[in-house]
Chain A
């Protein structure tokens, strides 16, 4: 069970780090704040999940040790969250697919409180946030997909580019597919054909993008161990 919690925490942490890259670079002030809010939601969930995962290790590790003192091969996040932000459409495609994955997952974990009450409490907090992330990403996917010729082209490109990485999230995914299909249909976007299925994130085999992300995320903590504000 501990490995699962670590993977959930790493998904949230790496997604937060990527989304935070939009800070001060959003297309307008309102969206800049929205993306930062979502990044902070993910970071909040990551802290709780990594704290829980670390407390269950022998010997125990803190959330900071897990976030800042592991190498890329020790991260268990899916590949999708570590991919570069690309343009705004790619960021929205990643957020749509991630939120459509996290929301039902958190709902399920929140409902299974008899199995793991600590994890259920964290999931219950995260589920409302995920619902808003899904809503936000769906709104933009529809606006861009069913927008101008240029926005449609770029949103379709984004969906095509990210689609292969969604296979890693599931063995089978009927609910996820129906959620995403509905958004794509309303957005006048085509669901890409299933083909290439890159995988390995859950086993610590990542893309080169994760190493660069970790270098930036971890540099301060590694240069000044135990530093505080």
Chain B
């Protein structure tokens, strides 16, 4: 679980505010039943994590059908391997890792030949338009980003992964992760701020 530490470091503050939707506590008794192969317990766990897993997959893949496949395959792996869960970390973290690996694997399989060139992280001191944009506008803008850029942005901002962790997950460098966050942030700003609204994404074309 994430809690703010006494010295209020930036990482701790970030952790508190970036609480993942996966952070769901599962009762020990329910886990024990699932480990014993109880189908009812599996269903309860599935119901609790269905939306977080599906949302993560949709954000990374940008494809509803592919995201449903990830949901199915990830949950199947969770139930097949639940006996290997040692309880040393929260169950939700273990489940999220399985779901994330599944989504990233699919993302690599459907690599859309995006440019992986790195750019310096642009520091933009101005506040973003997302503060006043509605959810629909932000979602449409997000959907227009290239899958890789959107994935890195999502893992960094929403799931709270650090740049080194993201670099490990996607098999790229730390500077790549940083540049994708900067690029994605900039593009989101441009898309939302454009007079026509979030109608197209020029990143992929430009690359």
Query: Do chains A and B interact in one complex?
Result: no
**What residues of chain B have their CB less than 8 Å away from a CB belonging to chain A?**
none
